[in-house]
Amino acid sequence: MTEIKITSNGDPAGSDEPGVGAADSSARAFAHAEGSSAPTTGHATQTPHNRASGDGPRTSMPDDEIAEIEGDLDELVKTAKQRDDYLALAQRTQADFENYRKRVAREAAAARDRGVGSLAKELLPALDNLDRALEAAAEDDPLLQGVRLVRTELKAALARAGIQSFCPLGEQFDPSLHEAVATAAQPPGGAASGIVVEVYQDGYRLGEGILRPARVVVAA
């Protein structure tokens, strides 16, 4: 009679059937390996590479939003163009107004000068008569002081209006400033030819213009 011994792992030892214990052990090892390698869930594991790549479905912008943005851009361009047009119009208007202001100021000044000059031409003969009266009056004439005072006040009034007298005695004759009424031969060592040697009547100027030329005698 054959003796059968039970080993610590529960397998019979000393079995008459050769290889039974080894086959059973191999089967259990294979089953254990299959069970450990089977996936625990039905989902695929995501690798770090896939997580870092950031690949995924991309959403496209709707057509109505694109059309709205394009409309806003067109409106901005139109508004900017209108702003530039208004700015250019304002600059042209400002330049035109500045030119108009300057032109009006020049015309007003010219009209004033014409008015002052016209009045002065009426007063200059009276001033010339006062000068002649002073030259002909005697020093003891009681009216001399009064005539001098009137002459002084009249010339001061003309000066306040911008009218100045000038006496070109000893100056070179200038036909734009002087009116030659005669020529005078000069003795040796006298005035050079063309020099004003005598002034019959003072000249008057208004600003840069000549209101009345001086009447003079020129050396021949």
Residue 34 lies in a domain: no
Torsion of CA 150, 151, 155, 158, to 10 degrees: 60
Residue 194 lies in a domain: yes
Residue 99 lies in a domain: yes
Distance (Å) of CA 92 to CA 86, 98, 153, 207: 10, 10, 50, 34
Query: Which residues, in sequence order, are CB contacts of 128 under 8 Å at separation 6+?
Result: 201
Question: What whole-number distance in Å separates Cα of residue 210 and Cα of residue 176?
Answer: 8
0.85 cut: is pTM over it?
Answer: no
Query: Structurally, how many domains does the chain consist of?
Result: 2
Task: Look up residue 49 and give its two tokens.
Answer: 């590479």
Residue 181 lies in a domain: yes
In a shared domain, residues 89 and 136: yes
Residue 105 reports pLDDT greater than 70: yes
The per-residue pLDDT for range 18-57, each reduced to its tens digit, is 444 444 444 454 444 444 444 444 444 444 444 444 454 5
Residue 81 lies in a domain: yes
Task: Look up residue 192 and give its two tokens.
Answer: 């050079």
Which CATH number characterizes residue 138's domain? Answer: 3.90.20
Q: What is the pLDDT of residue 49?
A: 43
Residue 17 lies in a domain: no
DSSP 160: H
Q: Taking phi first (over 0 means left), then psi (-120 to 50 degrees means alpha), and beta for anything else, what does residue 216 get?
A: beta
In a shared domain, residues 83 and 157: yes
Q: Model confidence at 68, in pLDDT bands (50, 70, 90)?
A: confident
How does the average pLDDT of the chain come out, rounded? 78
The per-residue pLDDT for range 117-154, each reduced to its tens digit, is 999 999 999 999 998 888 888 888 888 888 899 999 99
Residue 32 lies in a domain: no
In a shared domain, residues 129 and 177: no
Location of structure tokens 């943005």: 69
Which CATH number characterizes residue 188's domain? Answer: 2.30.22.10
Question: What whole-number distance in Å separates Cα of residue 147 and Cα of residue 33?
Answer: 148
Residue 177 lies in a domain: yes
The per-residue pLDDT for range 183-206, each reduced to its tens digit, is 999 888 888 999 999 999 999 999
Q: What is the pLDDT of residue 74?
A: 84
Residue 185, domain extent: 162-220
